[in-house]
Amino acid sequence: MTHEQRTGPVRPPTPPHPDRPPTAAHDSLAELSARCAAWLGAERDRIEGELRAAYGKPPGTAVKEQHPAPDSVPPAAVPLIELLDRLAGLAGDPPAADGPVLDRVRRGVVAALTASGVTPVEDTGPVDPARHHVVATRDDPSGLLSDRIAETVRPGYLWRDVLLRPQEVVSYVPYVGPRPPRAEAERGRRDAR
Model pLDDT, residue 97? 47
For the residues of 75-90, what is the DSSP string, one character each? TTHHHHHHHHHHHHHH
Q: How confident is the model at residue 16 (pLDDT cuts 50, 70, 90)?
A: low
Q: What band does 183 get if pLDDT is binned at 50, 70 and 90?
A: low
In the predicted structure, residue 187 carries a pLDDT above the cut 70: no
The pLDDT value given to residue 167:
94
Which own/partner contact pairs does 2-5 have at CB distance under 8 Å and 24+ positions apart?
A: none
Overall average pLDDT of the 151-156 stretch: 92
Q: Domain boundaries in the chain?
A: 14-56, 77-174
CATH for the 77-174 domain, from 3.30.200.190, 2.30.22.10, 3.30.750.210, 3.30.420.40: 2.30.22.10
Task: Write out pLDDT tens, residues 17-53.
Answer: 555 554 544 456 667 767 767 777 777 778 777 777 7
Overall pTM > 0.85: no
